[in-house]
Structure 1
Amino acid sequence: MTLTLGIDLGTSGVKSVLVDERDAVIAEASAPLTVSRPQPLWCEQDPADWWNAVCATLDALTASAAEHMAVVGAIGLSGQMLGVTCLDASDRPLRPALLWNDARAGSECTEVEAAAADFAGLVGCRAMVGFPAPKLRWLSKHEPEILKHTCRILLPKDYLRLRLTGIAASDLADASATLLMDTRAGQWSADLLAACSVRQEQLPALIASHEIGGTLRDELAARWGLPRRTPVVGGAGDNMCGGVGAGIVRSGSASISLGTSGVYFLANEDFRPARGQGMHTHRHAVKGLFAQNGCILSAGAALAWVAALVGASDIPTLIAEVEAAALPIAEAPVFTPYLSGERTPHDDAGISAAFSGLRMGMGRLHLVQAVLEGVALALADCHRALLSTGAAIDEVSLVGGGARSGLWSRLIASAIGLPLRRAEAAAVGPALGAARLARLGIGGPLIAAEAERASIPPDPAMTDALAAKRAAYERHLALR
């Protein structure tokens, strides 16, 4: 028996899973992460915290499943996208990493776009705040000494690869979202690098998502009881790995990921550059496919925020309370979930969140339900934006930690007007996708067995109630 190990570096935590030949999750472990916000609009993490969290999960798997760790055939990596990690000549971080939801580089977007006559046609989307190219441009202007002394610029999961193998490499899928690449050609663009004051030697080598990009260091193999020289494949960003984990491996299939952010991911055999509405198109982790994306910046993050607001320490228990209360949609206030600005369809770092329609008699559960509804309505905006490109959506799968909530799942299905398919392993989608890519890298099938999936149909009453609420939801946008 040969297993594969998938490691997913998220924003709020690391999850590592052991997967067998039939895609069953044999064992899993997780470790939390926190985000630093030293100034308004800034979001950072210490790369050392990423590594410590990975080590904690693999130590836990070794303690609980040593016999399975001993037969791992390959490791796959998934990770939060768009982060910028600057390393010195000794591969030490020169500053905290700038994360995907860091919005400091708003004014640099226009400057980066000026580097190419058809910027969106080259990279796949407009330059938007939070993406690596504008952030690197910001560093060149505001922290030039940092960029001057930077020897490597790595995406978050690729920093883990460096620590695991000693090799600096990135996969074509994750790297295509840096806005530094000619996406169709699959190579770094000299013009875009120059616009950001970046040298090509600072960037990693590019490999396919299933390609072996190094082997595990001997001392780490010994620590975790893994086979010596275990291959580590390219992997992909968490959006692409989440797609692979959800079985989104053919054109027309889509997934909605309910993690810290909410991502609507559509696989397409055509390269359809996104020229507006805060959408973006990148390479998929599956050869021959591209990925169209809509993204809301606060999904699980909005739920965590309101949980803290109402003093709830356990989110699953809080969700269970809301579900048991069965509050009518009409009785909850309206919530627009723009706590960190918004990407799709507004592309506006300055847009803000709000509750409206508050009345006496409303309590903590009304606020929580309003957040669930607001995220569902925002994802419906993503759905409409994707359809506006002429893309066809055949089926939608639901993945991510938020997929555990039956109420949230029904709200989203009702808001977009399509049934959702939810696999048993929906909550570990990106880590499962990374493990599947690892298996492909050592000669196995990408998807070993199609999992049974529960179907979540739209609820007509919910659809009508959410449609009635949309007018108030959109009124907030007109007043901002």
Structure 2
Amino acid sequence: MYLGLDLGTSGVKAMLMDEEQRIVGSATGALDVDRPHPGWSEQNPADWIRAAEEAIAQLKAAHAEALAAVRGIGLSGQMHGATLLDEGDAVLRPCILWNDTRSFREAEALDGDPQFRALTGNIVFPGFTAPKLAWVRENEPEIFARVRWVLLPKDYLRLWLTGEHMSEMSDSAGTSWLDTGKRKWSTSLLAATHLEERQMPELVEGTDAAGTVRPELASRWGMGSGVLVAGGAGDNAASACGMGTVGEGQAFVSLGTSGVLFAANASYLPNPESAVHAFCHALPNTWHQMGVILSATDALNWHSGVTGRSAADLTGELGESLRAPGSATFLPYLSGERTPHNDAAIRGAFVGLGHESSRPLLTQAVLEGVSFAIRDSLEALRAAGTQLERVTAIGGGSRSRYWLKSIATALNLPVDLPADGDFGAAFGAARLGLIAAADADPVAVCAAPETAETIAPEGPLVQAYEDAYQRYRRLYPALKGAMS
């Protein structure tokens, strides 16, 4: 048996998988996000452990025999979080999360140093880890002075599981400290933020062993000794392992809290000017590119909160037949935006409201706005040298057929739906645990699921969507000018 642990923003998911990659069971421990100031987003690392304990306890209650047979554990996690520990591994402050934008000034300053883009292959985004440490140094110097370790969220779970300070390439590529082409820490980039390599965890590949479960935890869960913990992956690379998106030209679109257009690459293809992320993949000697929008299902959930209707009710009002874009346009910049704008200060808007703008029409505009934001990422990937012929849809938002039709038509690409199953980050993490523990072939293990259905672009509406997308693109500079 193999266990995948996925530390998300809203919960920790634990998934049990057997050696034939059949899912035995899964469970989740819930998490909340603290937002003490506008643009801030934090979590207490102790809550991650509590949520992981809850999820594993549920698995033990339902599948004690299977849990006892676990031989490998893989980790996946939300990226970019700054988890700061002192010499005794005590947490110094709440973790600053991926969607926290307080360090936008520090990010701009670091990005102005040409070595960052040259070595990392990426813009220094406010959500990345390095500018967060620059913010802590400037605003909380007494805490910065005590920092002995900087860990990413999933690697704090590893420390709890194994006692090891270790990380892997895919997650570490999102810190702005990794020489992404060479797959190692850059001492010069660390020095630019007044840090040293000794404060960073040891790096391994995501498929390598990275510690063993501590005896007291193994005993509590009924496991044997020597259970290996794999290097694991950042959440998007873990999802790619779960979806089998590991070969050149394979891609998925993820509709989660944030939205991601992810393409696997056989070589390192940086183009930071396009605001595309160029990161290491979880498998050795592979990389990936990613366009990221900060509010995908988050935008629909915001609309749900405002209207007092559930997201399912809102999308249900639209039916399944795709409509031509209406007069209202929604810009989903509720927390700023990454690809393609790299703008932490921009905020969302409805434009073109009229008496005809009913609740269903506003819902339609929200779904279209996210679809157009993903189209922005597609155009950025193309500018970075990646051409896609189709994408696979994953994430909670992919349950809406209307939204999938909207995305297919906005991208003018077929969207594949995988056969029934959970192929997300927890499954990918479990696969990495299998590879590390069984010394299995990574490509063979990370096979793609069968396609259950393909949603094609709605031909008669492609031009209407194209026209609406061009209108959407013109609105960002107008909105930015109005807010500046």
User: How high is the TM-score relative to the length of structure 2?
Assistant: 0.93
Shift of 1:378: 0.5
The unaligned stretches of length 5 or more in structure 1 are none
C-alpha change, 1:317 and 1:43, in structure 2 (3 Å) is same
Q: Give the secondary-structure state (helix, strand or coil) at the position aligned to 1:72.
A: coil
Whether the 8 Å CA contact 1:12–1:260 is kept in 2: the answer is no
Displacement of 1:427: 5.2
RMSD: 1.9
Partner of 2:241: 244
Give the alignment partner of residue 335 of structure 2, picking from 340, 354, 366. Answer: 340
Contact 1:17 1:27 (C-alpha < 8 Å) held by counterparts:
yes
1:446-478 C-alpha deviation (Å, 9 max, x unpaired) = 344542212222122343332232243234213
Q: Deviations over 1:331-375 (max 9, x none)?
A: 473111000111111111122111122222433333222211111
1:364 to 2:364 alignment:
no
Q: 2:60 aligns with which of 34, 59, 62?
A: 62
Matched, 1:278 2:278: no
Asked if 1:467 is matched to 2:463, the reply is no
1:198-213 aligned within 5 A? 198-213=195-210
Determine the C-alpha separation between the residues in 1 that align with 2:50 and 2:454.
38
Distance 1:237 1:274 in 2: 21
The 5-angstrom pairing of residues 52-131 of structure 1 reads 52-113=50-111, 115=113, 117-131=114-128
Are residues 428 and 253 of structure 1, via their aligned partners in 2, closer, same or farther at CA, if it must alter by over 3 Å?
Answer: closer
Deviation per residue, 1:94-152 (Å, 9 max, x gap): 1111111111111212432455x443221111212111111111111111111111221
**For residues 340 and 381 of structure 1, what CA distance do their matches in structure 2 show?**
17
| 2:456 corresponds to 1:457 | yes
Contact 2:260 2:293 in 1 (8 A): yes
The 1:469–1:392 alpha-carbon spacing in structure 2 relative to 1, beyond 3 Å, is closer
Q: How does 1:319-468 map to 2 (within 5 A)?
A: 319-323=315-319, 328-331=323-326, 333-424=328-419, 428-442=423-437, 443-446=439-442, 447-448=444-445, 450-453=448-451, 454-468=453-467
Q: In the alignment, is the contact (CA less than 8 A) between 1:17 and 1:25 conserved in 2?
A: yes
- 1:50 maps to 48
Structure 2 runs not aligned, ≥5 long: 480-484
Paired amino acid for 2:191: A
- Is the alpha carbon distance of 1:223 and 1:367 closer, same or farther for their aligned partners in structure 2, counting shifts above 3 Å? farther
- 1:142-181 aligned at under 5 Å gives the runs 142-181=139-178
More deviation, 120-129/420-429: 420-429
Paired residue for 1:297? 294
Say whether the 8 Å CA contact 1:126–1:274 is kept in structure 2. Answer: no
TM-score with structure 1 setting the length: 0.94
Report the more deviating stretch, 426-435 or 130-139: 426-435
Given that 1:410 and 1:459 are in contact with CA atoms closer than 8 Å, whether structure 2 keeps it comes out as yes
Contact 1:398/1:426 (CA < 8 Å) preserved in 2? no
Distance 1:473 1:462 in 2: 16
Q: Which one of the candidate residues 13, 16, 22 is aligned to 1:15?
A: 13
Which residue of 2 is the match for residue 30 of structure 1? 28
Residues 1:476 and 2:475 are matched in the alignment: yes
Letter in 2 for 1:315: A
Identical columns (%): 42
d(CA) in 1 for partners of 2:263, 2:392 = 10
Deviation at 1:390, TM superposition (A): 2.0
Q: CA deviation at 1:327?
A: 7.2
Is the contact made by 2:276 and 2:384 (CA closer than 8 Å) also made in structure 1? no
CA shift in 2, pair 1:329/1:198, >3 Å: same
Contact 2:29 2:54 in 1 (8 A): yes
Q: Contact 2:242–2:424 (CA<8 Å) still a contact in 1?
A: yes
Q: Distance in 2 between matches of 1:72 and 1:400?
A: 27
Distance 1:427 1:472, change over 3 A: farther
Distance (Å, rounded) in 2 between the aligned partners of 1:390 and 1:247: 21
Q: 1 CA distance for matches of 2:199 and 2:393? A: 37
1:255 match: secondary structure: strand
2:167, 2:203 within 8 Å by CA — same for their partners in 1?
yes
Question: 1:395 offset after TM fit, Å?
Answer: 3.6
